[in-house]
A and B are shown apart, each in its own frame.
Chain A
């Protein structure tokens, strides 16, 4: 009798959206909750609930994979990965191998890929930075759940996927089980309004966001990017923003997959996918409104990504630079390189500087070559590297020395991030970096545009 009543009640819970008595139980879900619920095989998940979720893709690079492979070897009965087609392995951190030790890790991953018959293995010269490679290879689609052994795995939220970074032991478990345990995060809804001004880009918008939230402002939270400004952004712009969700401590950052995102994905895969939307009555922990009208280019000053100031504030002092770095999973896309080439075309970079440009993937590199961008940059005095993460995390290919100062399109500027703990890193958009490349000091790119407009 009791059980029959309970079952009847449960039935009601599933069907009844409008019964006020059941309102609490059937409360709407955010975009993140929807994806997590489906992957856990549940109709509904609550904030704080621990779930076991099936994963659509597990990612690792040669650093996280090496440790994960070692861990997997110690798990009794774990001889095979759960699905060799749902694992992506990308060599990108110390590539081409910096030294024998780095080569050893890369080889470990390559041998593992062969042993496990993993199809999505990207060697040097055929891939690039993991987060640039996966979307362009059609390995990310809306509604999917992706975990990766890299904190910037959150990038894939740009295409409406739930994606989060984990350490190597978690990745080893996901390799084997095809599942991860997750705590359903509360969501912070970000609502952007207004039109971006000249020389203001998605990167500026995200720096502003991290500055507003703080580096632990979204810890354990999901970020949901919404608003009229967002609808106007290109997929690359959304990638830049989702990429830096972790810089506010977030578990994931996500956009609704709109027509633009769906078209982007369908051009790259024939895989079927589900496009989720937040319910109208979804519960948000808080809503943060960001008005971008009249927002100027933004700079994150040393030594945290939330130490963000408007460019006119920063350029009040003359901040001389030793290095400019353009690239990374945040801003290593063709759209970024086009902006830089446009600004540097036919000009010379300041003699006091070195400028290192790192196209994000082999495809981006080839596209840039075909468009003549690499020649423009090289002629301006930039060193153009092969794709990789090296310079961004102080690995190699552009490491800073004591007392050096760098302006960078990357995502982090902690002490020692790009090399010496006595170096300083400022973060900005590709346009701000390119403008500064001409002057040798941090420069407002809008001044440049004005100069262009004035010249005949």
Chain B
């Protein structure tokens, strides 16, 4: 059976930046679960106490703008979030999320459709996003082929291992 991601939506606006995703003062933390306790603290201080494993962050355009801190997607993943759906992502965040294995989906229609608390099921293989609360579904933009191939080998780390093995 195809793997799915399942949880409830937490919705945010445009330009959710890395300073609110994980404020600078926590950037010397390495432990993922500890980082997760401070995820989105700058914009939603109650987030870490409210979020349940599998929940989905839904945001408008330019999610993750600002710093290159990889601890931003790590904190989100560490909080138990299964995926981020946004109208668009800032480029460094986009790379970082792929690299650390946080599933992200670009889908403006889904963002417009989903309200806070809606029950969401995502099929990563097809990019299908089902809003169980509203009975609607949307398909996220497919990743470019090169990025799909990176994911297919299990991420950038495995890609580097393969390159080293061939060398």
A residues in contact with B17, CB < 8 Å:
412, 414-415
Interface on chain A toward B: helix, strand, loop, or mixed SS?
loop
Contact status B65-A215, CB under 8 Å:
yes
Measured CB to CB, the nearest residue on chain B to A411 is B66
In the complex with contacts A169-B100, A412-B19, A249-B91 CB distance below 8 A: yes
In the complex with contacts A167-B68, A215-B62, A249-B90 CB distance below 8 A: yes
Additional pairs, 8, CB under 8 Å, beyond known A173-B159, A414-B42: A64-B68, A67-B70, A75-B157, A75-B160, A78-B161, A249-B65, A415-B43, A421-B20
Contact status B91-A251, CB under 8 Å:
yes
Q: Could you list which residues of chain A lie within 8 angstroms of chain B, going by C-beta atoms?
A: 50, 63-64, 66-67, 70-71, 74-78, 93-94, 98-99, 101-102, 105, 148-151, 153, 165-170, 172-173, 176-177, 181, 183, 215-216, 219-220, 246, 249, 251, 304, 393-396, 399, 412, 414-417, 419, 421
In the complex with contacts A102-B28, A415-B20, A167-B157 CB distance below 8 A: no
A residues in contact with B99, CB < 8 Å:
167, 169-170
Q: Does B24 reach chain A (CB closer than 8 Å)? A: yes
Against A, the Cβ 8 Å flags (1 = close, 0 = not) of B7-25 are: 0000000010101100111
Docked Cα-Cα span, A149 to B160, in Å, equals 18
Give which listed residue, B24, B43, B157, contacts A395 with CB less than 8 A. B24
In the complex with contacts A167-B99, A169-B96, A219-B62 CB distance below 8 A: yes
B residues in contact with A393, CB < 8 Å:
19, 24, 27, 67
Q: Does B88 reach chain A (CB closer than 8 Å)? A: yes
Give which listed residue, A169, A395, A412, A421, contacts B70 with CB less than 8 A. A169
Q: Does B165 reach chain A (CB closer than 8 Å)? A: yes
Against A, the Cβ 8 Å flags (1 = close, 0 = not) of B126-165 are: 0000000000000000001010001000001101110111
Contact status B91-A176, CB under 8 Å:
no
Contact status B66-A216, CB under 8 Å:
no
A residues in contact with B66, CB < 8 Å:
151, 246, 412, 414
Chain A nearest CB, measured from B157 CB (Å): 5
Chain A nearest CB, measured from B160 CB (Å): 5
Measured CB to CB, the nearest residue on chain B to A175 is B160
| Nearest 10 CB-CB pairings of A with B | A167-B96, A167-B70, A393-B24, A169-B99, A216-B62, A416-B42, A394-B24, A77-B164, A151-B68, A414-B19
Docked Cα-Cα span, A341 to B15, in Å, equals 36
Q: Which of B45, B91, B146, B161 has the most CB of A within 10 A?
A: B91
Q: Could you list which residues of chain B lie within 8 angstroms of chain A, going by C-beta atoms?
A: 15, 17, 19-20, 23-25, 27-30, 41-43, 45, 61-62, 65-71, 88, 90-92, 95-96, 99-100, 144, 146, 150, 156-157, 159-161, 163-165
Docked Cα-Cα span, A67 to B71, in Å, equals 9
Contact status A149-B27, CB under 8 Å:
no
Contact status B92-A394, CB under 8 Å:
no
Measured CB to CB, the nearest residue on chain B to A418 is B24
Give which listed residue, A77, A105, A150, A246, contacts B28 with CB less than 8 A. A105
Contact status B25-A176, CB under 8 Å:
no
Contact status B90-A78, CB under 8 Å:
no
Contact status A177-B28, CB under 8 Å:
no
A residues in contact with B88, CB < 8 Å:
216, 219
A residues in contact with B91, CB < 8 Å:
219-220, 249, 251
In the complex with contacts A173-B160, A394-B24, A67-B30 CB distance below 8 A: yes
Contact status B70-A64, CB under 8 Å:
yes
Measured CB to CB, the nearest residue on chain B to A220 is B91
Contact status B95-A417, CB under 8 Å:
no
A residues in contact with B65, CB < 8 Å:
215-216, 219, 249
Chain A nearest CB, measured from B123 CB (Å): 25
Chain B nearest CB, measured from A169 CB (Å): 4
Residue pairs across A and B with Cβ atoms less than 8 A apart, 13 shown, are A77-B165, A78-B164, A105-B28, A149-B68, A151-B92, A165-B68, A169-B99, A170-B99, A172-B157, A177-B160, A251-B91, A414-B17, A421-B23
Docked Cα-Cα span, A170 to B90, in Å, equals 16
Contact status B160-A166, CB under 8 Å:
no
A residues in contact with B19, CB < 8 Å:
393-394, 412, 414-417
Docked Cα-Cα span, A166 to B96, in Å, equals 8
Give which listed residue, B23, B62, B67, B164, contacts A416 with CB less than 8 A. B23
In the complex with contacts A168-B70, A416-B42, A63-B27 CB distance below 8 A: yes
Docked Cα-Cα span, A165 to B161, in Å, equals 23
A residues in contact with B163, CB < 8 Å:
177
Chain A nearest CB, measured from B28 CB (Å): 5
Contact status B62-A414, CB under 8 Å:
no
B residues in contact with A416, CB < 8 Å:
19-20, 23, 41-42
Measured CB to CB, the nearest residue on chain A to B71 is A67
A residues in contact with B160, CB < 8 Å:
75, 78, 172-173, 176-177
Chain B nearest CB, measured from A358 CB (Å): 15
A residues in contact with B157, CB < 8 Å:
71, 74-75, 169, 172-173
Contact status B30-A70, CB under 8 Å:
yes
Docked Cα-Cα span, A193 to B27, in Å, equals 41
B residues in contact with A394, CB < 8 Å:
19, 23-25
